[in-house]
Each structure stands twice: as C-alpha cells, then as structure tokens.
Amino acid sequence: EQELAVLQHAEQLIQVASTAYEALSQREDAVIDQLIQIIRSLEDIERIDVSLSEPVSNARSARYYLDDVVVFLQQYRDRIEFDPVRLDEVQERLEQLKMLKRKYGGTLKEVCVYRDRMADEINRLETADEHRAELEEALEQARKNLTAKAEKLSTARKKTASRMETRVVKELTELGMKKTLFQVHIGWHEVADGPIVIEGKSYQADASGMDHVEFLISPNQGEELKPLVHIASGGEISRVMLALKVILAESDQVRTLVFDEVDLGIGGRIAESIGQKLKLLSQSHQVLCITHLHQVACWGHTHFTVHKESSRGRTVTQINHLDQDGRVQEIARMLAGETVDDMAVTHAREILRRTLV
C-alpha cells in the first residue's frame, strides 16, 4: 500500500523534492549559502561576546543537517519515477490480497497461517507413502498388543466361567432347581479384517474384548442346554438371576434389582432360602421383590401390598405401605388365607421377630 501511494503521487513527490533541493542548494540565494554567511557573521562577533558560542554552534549543526537533507533530496528525486506498468502490478497485487483476506481471514496474518497450514498438508500428501508405511507399522503393532491383551482376558474369563458354573449350580439347587445344568459359553466371532488376529484368522472385538459370552441352561433333567434368554418360565429366570446376583454381588454395578415371582412354584424350606438370599443381596443392592409367600416377604425391610379394586366402572391398582401392625396382619393372611385367627397373628409376629433380628 505504501508503494501504491508513492506510484500514484510520483509526479508530485518529484516536484516537491526538486523544489526543496533547489531552494536549499542550487539557487543564487540558496538557503545553505545564506546560512553559511550568517554563521560567518556570527563567528566574527562571537570573539566580542562569548555568549554567542552556543547559537553559533547550533547554526553550524543546522548547516550540517541541511547538508544531509540536500543529499537525501537529490537521491530521492532521482530514485522516484512514474511507472504505469509497476503501478498496475501493485494495484493488481493489492486486489489479490484483499480477495485472500475475504476468503481466508480478515488479516494478512490469518492468510499466512492458512498458507502455512496448506503447505504442511501438501507436504503430508507428497510424503503419504512414507507416512502410510509408518501408520501400517503402528497399526500392526497395535493389533499385536490388542491380540495379546484380548487372549489374556479371554483366558481369565474361561477360568472364572468354570468357577461360576459350579457356584451357580449350587445356588440353583438351594433355590429348588435341582438337576439344573448351567454353562458359560465363550466363543469368538470370526470376521474378515477383524482387529484381532490369531493363527492367521481375524476376529471381532470391542471395548470388552473379543469374547462372546452366553449363559446356557437346562432347568429340567434330560433337556439340552439352551440360551438363558429362551427360558419360558419367569420364575426360573428370576431364580437364575438371583443366583447370579448373589455370586456377583461384590462386583455388580447395578444398584437396583427387581425380582418378579422369584418364588413361583416353590414353598417351604426353599422359599425361605430364597428369602435369605434376597436379604443377603439387599446389603449391597436395593432389592424389589414381588412375592406371594410369607417365607420371602418376611425378610424385607419394607412391605407393600398390591391389590386391585373397581372404581366407577374401572379397575384401579392400589399400593399400600404397611406399618408394623399392618405387616403382621399381612403375613398372617399369607399364612392362613382370608380368615386370620389369633394363632396366625402370633405365628406372624414370631416369624417377623426371627427374620428382623
């Protein structure tokens, strides 16, 4: 922009510089010549009055400064020239810079930052083969590391699965599911170009490893093992889940557990065993259990009753929170049926006293 201003006003600059140059040094009454005469006159009277020494010195300095100005003006006048071609070039260049600022940033600094970034990108593309080799090497090393860790995790899972199978069968036996078979199936899913490579085969993997874990169960003797999700009985599923939750209580991150009719089809000692296990599980989880058996209900910290009634032609579900007396009456009802006598109430109080200790 400075060069553009000089080119646009070249004639004016030359004229002013020439006029000043001539006035200072080229005319008969040139300023410097007159200043020299003044200095000589002052030097003559300085001998009479020494107080003129400083003004005389300043006048000499002014003369030297003017000499420098004359030299500069002469060189400046000779250097400046009106160049229409160069003027067009500069104007075109400035327009290009304005366009670049509009497109890539509000300032030339931002344009330069963008230019440098593009230069880096071009360099990256030009050396892509070299970077590709580096990336492929890094990818291969990552595959090896991932495979090693996935195999280690899989081995640990298989050891844990074996112990879990034994414990689950034991828990289910105590919950009334005798002759039950339980198996933890751990498999690998082979895919094309998977992240895990073992013996030339690639397998699928995610953040939890490469194992596909499935629980298989045979709840009745003579039946083949089937996935747990295919069990039809809600009561059986609830008991299997109870067994698993008891075993995994310390490591399970789920804080609230819901068991629906976990006591379906059982009673007596096994029902009491279920109640005890739910009580144990409630030490580390919030447990919500729907039950029809007093052997299970008596172990809870809080007791609700749920019943349906008709109101204005509609069926309404009522949920009531029982106090201690209400709980005694409900346990007695679960013991004796709709007709509750003193013996049932006494028995209910004894059951609650024993389980709430």
| Domain containing residue 20 | 2-82
**Among the three residues 231, 255, 289, which one is the final residue of a domain in this structure?**
231
CB atoms within 10 A of CB 238: 21
Give the span between the Cα atoms of 70 and 325, in whole angstroms: 118
**Rounded distance, CA 27 to CA 21, Å?**
9
Query: What's the average model confidence in pLDDT over 145-164?
Result: 92
Q: Same domain, yes or no, for 142 and 67? A: no
How many residues appear in the chain? 357
Does the pLDDT at position 326 exceed 90?
A: yes
User: Domain ends where: 26, 50, 82?
Assistant: 82
Residues 132 and 211 in one domain: yes
| Residues forming beta bridges with residue 316, ordered by sequence position | 309
- Comparing 66-80, 288-302, 340-354, the range with the smallest average pLDDT is 66-80
Q: Considering only CA atoms, which of 121, 236, 125 is closest in space to residue 172?
A: 236
Residue 52 sits in the same domain as residue 133: no
> Does residue 241 lie within any of the structural domains?
no
pLDDT average, residue stretch 147-160: 93
| Amino acid residing at 118 | M
Residues 300-322 pLDDT 10s = 999 999 988 888 889 999 999 99
Spatial distance between the Cα atoms of 266 and 254, rounded to a whole number of angstroms? 27
CA 337 to chain centre: 58
Mean pLDDT of all residues in 179-196: 90
Contact 177, 239 (CB under 8 A): yes
Mean per-residue pLDDT for 10-28? 83
Nearest residue to 81 via CA among 1, 2, 14, 5:
14
Average pLDDT over residues 331-336: 92
Whole-number Å distance between alpha carbons of 225 and 73: 106
Q: How many domains does the chain have?
A: 2
pLDDT band per the 50, 70, 90 thresholds, residue 186? very high
Higher pLDDT, 100 or 221: 221
Whether 221 and 147 map to the same domain: the answer is: yes
Contacts of 251 (CB under 8 A, 6+ apart): none
| Distance, CA of 357 to CA of 352 (rounded, Å) | 8
Q: How far apart are CA 19 and CA 37, in angstroms?
A: 22
Q: Is residue 289 part of a domain?
A: no
| Same structural domain, 135 and 212 | yes
One domain for residues 165 and 76: no
Among 200-214, 238-252, 342-356, the minimum mean pLDDT is found in 238-252
Residue 285 lies in a domain: no
Establish if 57 belongs to a structural domain: yes
Query: Domain check: are 215 and 156 in the same one?
Result: yes
In a domain, 9, yes or no: yes
In a domain, 353, yes or no: no
CB-based contact 185:216 (threshold 8 Å) = yes
**Does residue 41 sit in the same domain as residue 137?**
no
Last residue of a domain, one of 231, 257, 291: 231
- pLDDT for res 215: 92
Specify if 314 maps to a domain: no
Instruction: Note if the pTM is more than 0.75.
Output: no
In a domain? residue 115 = no
